[in-house]
Amino acid sequence: MLRGFCLFVFLVLSSVSVAVNPVAAADCGVRILTEISAPSVFEDSKGNLAGFGYEIVEALKRELGCNTAIEVMPWARGYKYLSSRPNVMLFSTARTKLREDKFHWVGPVACYRWIFYGLKGGVKIKSLEDAKKVKGIGGYRKDARIQFLESEGFTNLEVTDSQDINFKKLLRGRIDLVVTSNIGVKDILAANEELQKRTVPVYTFRRMKMYLAFSKSTDQTIVRRWQKAFDALSRRGVINAIQSKWIESCPN
């Protein structure tokens, strides 16, 4: 009888130890990459990461029971890893036709608009064809907006690694427009009084959604786990609450 009881206790403890295996609990299954780009991800006054993208990913990690660290790097480098390596997740990533079949998608984490910004009293455009005729359009390397404009035959794009550089070029008259978004431009304007006074939205040309993008060779089981966690948080209103805190929430 005692031997049987000891065997029962051993089996129970063994099953518990498997369930709380710290290695399994710590691994989210993917390398998690992002860039500093408010309001998705930025550093607060204490040097901690914040933003809607950061909060959504952290909520998903809690739902999944894992704690893989988020790595911050330039967007072009993160996009290169996403495009060439297995088990990589990059956020927040615009989901476009050009990218649709290149990655797996979980979300959406944000809904927003693509906009051309220009100087007050500067160029006026009413279409993409009008935009093709301006002197120059500043954009962000490996950005979905630049990829889209390139696919539409734009030849007047001036690509840099920083939107701050693009807006400086706009103020100096070196380009006529900067392609940005209604959510990404807010913090840029808030940090620069001259930009607030001298720039205006000129033309909105697309409505888009941002997602968590997973590299194509990522195990589908991992992607499904993340989507299941996202769906669960959506049903409980967590995703909507985070979006409403920082940006416009996506319609259900």
pLDDT tens per residue across span 169-208:
999 999 999 999 998 898 899 889 999 999 999 999 999 9
Residue pair 117/170 in contact by the 8 Å Cβ criterion: yes
pLDDT at 1 over 60: no
- Name every residue whose Cβ is closer than 8 Å to that of residue 73 and which is 6 or more positions away in sequence: 33, 34, 35
Q: Which pLDDT tens digit goes with each residue over 44-99?
A: 999 999 999 999 999 999 999 999 999 999 999 999 999 999 999 999 999 999 99
What pLDDT is attached to residue 13?
40
What pLDDT is attached to residue 252?
65
Same domain for 139 and 192, yes or no, is yes
Residue pair 115/149 in contact by the 8 Å Cβ criterion: no
What pLDDT is attached to residue 164?
92
Q: Which pLDDT tens digit goes with each residue over 129-173?
A: 999 999 999 999 889 999 999 999 999 999 999 899 999 999 999
Domain that holds residue 223: 17-111+210-246
Same domain for 218 and 106, yes or no, is yes
What pLDDT is attached to residue 5?
43
Collapsed DSSP state (helix, strand, coil) of residue 212: strand
Q: Is residue 234 part of a domain?
A: yes
Number of C-beta neighbours around residue 100 at 10 A: 9
Q: Is residue 2 part of a domain?
A: no
CATH number of the structural domain spanning residue 176: 3.40.190.10
Same domain for 128 and 201, yes or no, is yes
Q: Is residue 251 part of a domain?
A: no
29-66 burial: b if 16+ Cβ within 10 Å, else e:
bbbbbbbebbbbbbeeeeeebbbbbbbbbebbbebbeb
The amino acid at 3? R
Residue pair 135/229 in contact by the 8 Å Cβ criterion: no
Same domain for 97 and 150, yes or no, is no
Residue pair 183/42 in contact by the 8 Å Cβ criterion: no
Q: Is residue 92 part of a domain?
A: yes
Give the integer Cα–Cα distance in Å for 93 and 143. 9
Largest CA distance in the chain: 91
What pLDDT is attached to residue 8?
43
Q: Is residue 31 part of a domain?
A: yes
Same domain for 214 and 204, yes or no, is no
Give the integer Cα–Cα distance in Å for 55 and 4. 49
Q: Which pLDDT tens digit goes with each residue over 8-37?
A: 444 444 443 333 333 345 789 999 999 999
The amino acid at 189? L
Same domain for 123 and 202, yes or no, is yes
